Copies of this chain bind each other. A is one copy, B any other.
Amino acid sequence: MPTFPDKAEKFIDWYLEVLDAAELTDKRYPVKGMNVWTPYGFQARRQLDAIMIREIERTGSLPVEFPALIPQTEFQKEKDHIKGFDAQVYWVTKGGATDLDVPLVLRPTSETAMYPVFALWVRSHKDLPLNVYQIVNTFRYETKTTRPFLRVREIHFFEEHTCQVDEAAATERVRSNLAAFEGMARSFVLPYVAVRRPEWDKFPGAFYSVALDIPVGGARTLQIGTTHHYRENFSGPYGIQYEATDGSTKHVHQTTFGLSERLVGAVVSVHGDAKGVVFPSSLAPYQVVVVPIVGGSGGEAVLAYARELVERLRARGLRVHLDDSDERPGAKYYRWETHGVPLRVEVGRREAEQKSVTVADRLGSKRPIGPDGVDDGIVAALAEFDERLRAKAQATFAASFTVARALDELRASTTVRVIAWCGSEACGHKVEEAIEGALLGTPEGPLPIDLGVPGPCVGCGTADSRWALAGQPL
């Protein structure tokens, strides 16, 4: 069996080879940075989407879908926003043989598609809050090196857009988005940190941005989502206003919340190991693969037993695959390990006779179950697997942060660094140069390590400082 490059030493090589082996995507599509969602990858994405939908709809957000094409005239209404996206949008300039009167942008994000319509939807304070979301693909003409799920030109994207009565209500919506993400992250088994980005790194047009960063080894971090407070920055140019209870006309305060297919990349990066991908049961296309071992006589009885078992587990609501192909058992074990299936259930002649099973989980634990309580035992083994996966990820997460007291300690960082920072852009850039990465910003909640008071800024030595994070965003 082939082995993968070392994850710690050669992370990107490991990542790319593991993805190929797991058949989550096909990179051979003839446009750079646009990849194919294979059946296996699509089924993982389906679980991911379902979790996002469940958690956001719990907060009262409603699904919508706006068109993918945005007229240039609408796209250019908010000046900072257009500056931020101008270099990386795809332009549709022709329909058939006809040059379009107004060129259309293929949405890089949907502010400029939605807000002209929000201006029609919002009339009165009774229409507020307006909380809607969509799950669509967005497009960016990416000039950097593309990587499946991490940096692509067609991006599977979740975006919530809201209108609130005032700044405080919008601040509260940002908080409620962070709470919704906490629920999602728990399901994805992804420890993360919410970080308020520095001014120079906020979303084009935002008042402020809070990013969701995931450490993925060394000083590397992956921004898998953001929530932004827009104040009136868009509602002004787009004329989204309402009649308040006192009869006055006010602009709404807006927020957005975005998540992307990078979540798939994060799950692979955080949980994957020397044998390939590891899926938590929430996202696994198959939570259980049943492998009948039918060499020699009695094969039919083993197969019949395996089929019965599969039906019973499906009736329990599990996603189960029966691998009755004619490959050798060893090849099957290898395949489903690379594919990250949480549980492999082996049934041979002895198991069929005893009505038992042998269960191996993706973290290496293996044991017989039965003859009594086989189904309950498998369900319990899956839950135990998730808990161990969570504990493992949490331990790695905690070890991903260390305090650095001086700029020199940022060079050749082997973890994400926690530093004291005065808040100035000048010192921020000194940090970025030292770590050869980014000042991620100030954490919104507690970190998984003990921190005292921040001490003097690593850049200028001023005592008035706060804790900030620095890393190397992928």
Contact = CB atoms under 8 A, between A and B. Distances in A.
Interface of A: 26, 28-31, 34-39, 42-43, 46, 62-71, 73-74, 86-98, 104, 106, 113, 116-117, 120-121, 132, 137, 139, 141, 143, 154, 156
Secondary structure class of chain A's binding surface, majority of residues:
mixed
A63 B41 CA distance: 9
Contacts of A74: 30
A34 B104 CA distance: 12
A261 B274 CA distance: 45
Contact of A90 (B29, B95, B116, B141): B95
B36 A67 contact: yes
Copies of this polypeptide in the complex: 2
Nearest to A132: B39
Given A42-B62, A88-B96, A90-B92, 20 more contacts: A26-B120, A28-B117, A29-B66, A29-B117, A30-B71, A35-B67, A37-B66, A39-B63, A68-B137, A86-B97, A88-B95, A89-B96, A90-B94, A90-B95, A91-B92, A91-B94, A91-B95, A92-B106, A93-B94, A106-B106
Nearest to A43: B63
Given A63-B43, A137-B68, A154-B67, A28 B120 contact: yes
B42 A65 contact: yes
Contact of A67 (B31, B86, B89): B31
Nearest to A116: B30
Contact of A71 (B31, B35, B63): B31
B96 A34 contact: no
Nearest to A62: B39
Contacts of A141: 95-96, 98
B92 A87 contact: no
Contacts of A139: 68-69
A377 to B, nearest CB: 29
A69 B31 contact: yes
A65 B90 contact: no
A64 B37 contact: yes
B94 A65 contact: no
A34 B64 contact: no
A138 to B, nearest CB: 10
Nearest to A86: B96
6 contacts: A29-B66, A29-B116, A31-B67, A35-B67, A46-B63, A68-B154
From A26, A65, A120, name the one whose CB has the most chain B CB atoms within 10 angstroms. Answer: A65
A118 to B, nearest CB: 10
Contacts of A36: 64-67, 117
Contacts of A35: 67
Contacts of A88: 95-96
A92 B132 CA distance: 29
A421 B13 CA distance: 64
A360 B261 CA distance: 45
A39 B160 CA distance: 13
A34 B69 CA distance: 8
Nearest to A142: B95
Nearest to A95: B141
A98 B91 CA distance: 10
Contacts of A70: 31
From A67, A73, A117, A143, name the one whose CB has the most chain B CB atoms within 10 angstroms. Answer: A67
A39 B43 CA distance: 25
Contacts of A46: 63
B42 A117 contact: no
Contacts of A95: 88-91, 141
A320 to B, nearest CB: 15
Nearest to A120: B28
B93 A87 contact: no
Contacts of A63: 39, 42-43, 46
